[in-house]
Chains A and B, each alone.
Chain A
């Protein structure tokens, strides 16, 4: 008959072994998934992972919010026609792509950047079309309250993208150069 403390000690060792091995295995899986290029990169990768996990948890429990500061920086860049910076900040503000307002601005930035009096940039319009579909998926009744935007709803913006991508006889109308960006 073994003494009680003998079994307890063995149990402690087994529990400790399971805990250590699990922790180490998680660390190895994480290292292989994030693939840091150097040891100095490991803390930065860890921070990114923690932020991602936090955001995913917020989404899961319904407390997800966009980063207001980054959104405002993006909005300022958008109003100054600096669309690349604007998109970058909008994407950073809404990492989970769940906010229809931010996603609408991203789609709108594709429209404004791709708009041309003679011809539109088809590549940007195609990206804009994909983006606006995402907004419709998130909230099909979305309506922007920004007075500077002439196209207030995703449907209007989608129509603008589709019309811009089509090649019709009206594309050769010289008066087309007089049209305004919305």
Chain B
């Protein structure tokens, strides 16, 4: 009897133990479920972050490799465009050699001021495709810079040399100054705005409108005819100023959007 009772008590103990084990098991299960839940939440958050990062990088990629070259190339297209005073015909003026030199100086200035970082645009760490794509963006920037000088420099005569000298003076001085990228942008914006106002407001105001005959022009607008003759000012339609205004705005917008580095 006592053996049977002992066995019963053992079974009860065992069943108690089992119950305990089962209880413990349940507790452990809920913890692991919590952990799994936390883990899955973290994973979800990570995936969200990753997706967000991915989206942000894709957006940046689209901006860098699609929109920036398009903005700069549009500047390159518009920079040499003028409208004839007589019939509003399109005139495409190729840039003078001095524009290419100034564009090169400007690019050097961008790198010196930290507006662009050379190792952030070209690196052995990047894939070949990325290096080429970055090169295309910088080439577009160079073309746009050339054409922006083509746009802002008067076409010929004394004003061309005066403007060219002023640009050269500014760029040469800036080459030896410690610059911040933001300050350089502000400085460029003000220089370009001044050049735009001088060329497309002041000089164009001094230019006589196209008239049927030389004598008629002298009788109607003697001062403007004199300035046009003395300064050898070309006659363009008023629409030229509007086109060049947008060229300058697009160029500055492109510079503002241009990242210093493409490295993530």
Contacts and interface: CB of A to CB of B under 8 A. Distances in A.
Nearest to A28: B77
Contact of B73 (A9, A14, A28, A37): A28
A32 B77 CA distance: 8
A156 B140 CA distance: 57
A32 B73 CA distance: 13
B136 A10 contact: no
A21 B73 contact: yes
- Residue among B62, B66, B130 with the highest chain A CB neighbour number at 10 A: B66
A50 interface: no
A176 B74 CA distance: 67
A13 B61 contact: yes
A46 interface: no
B42 to A, nearest CB: 17
Interface SS of chain A? helix
B46 to A, nearest CB: 12
Contacts of B105: none
A31 B69 contact: no
Given A20-B70, A21-B140, A25-B73, A10 B61 contact: yes
A14 B133 contact: yes
Given A13-B61, A31-B92, A25 B132 contact: no
B57 interface: yes
B57 A6 contact: yes
B65 A14 contact: yes
A172 interface: no
Nearest to A24: B73
A11 interface: yes
B117 to A, nearest CB: 19
A38 B90 contact: yes
A22 interface: yes
A123 interface: no
B136 A28 contact: no
B84 to A, nearest CB: 8
Contacts of A17: 64-66, 69, 133, 136-137
Contacts, number: 76
Nearest to B133: A14
B15 to A, nearest CB: 51
Contacts of A49: none
A22 B137 CA distance: 11
Interface in B75-89: 76-77, 80, 89
Interface in A1-34: 3, 6, 9-11, 13-18, 20-22, 24-25, 28, 31-32
Given A14-B130, A21-B140, A9 B58 contact: yes
Given A14-B129, A31-B77, A20 B89 contact: no
A21 B58 contact: no
Contacts of B156: none
A28 B147 CA distance: 12
B196 interface: no
A11 B129 contact: yes
B102 interface: no
B133 A18 contact: yes
Contacts of A38: 89-90
Nearest to B64: A17
A35 interface: yes
A32 B129 contact: no
Contacts of A16: 65-66
A21 B77 contact: no
Interface in B117-138: 127, 129-130, 132-133, 136-137
A89 B185 CA distance: 58
Contacts of B62: 13
A22 B92 contact: no
A116 interface: no
Contacts of B76: 25, 28
Interface of A: 3, 6, 9-11, 13-18, 20-22, 24-25, 28, 31-32, 35-39
Given A6-B57, A20-B69, 5 more contacts: A15-B129, A21-B136, A21-B140, A25-B143, A36-B90
Q: Which 5 A-B pairs have the closest CB atoms?
A: A17-B65, A21-B69, A14-B133, A13-B61, A37-B89
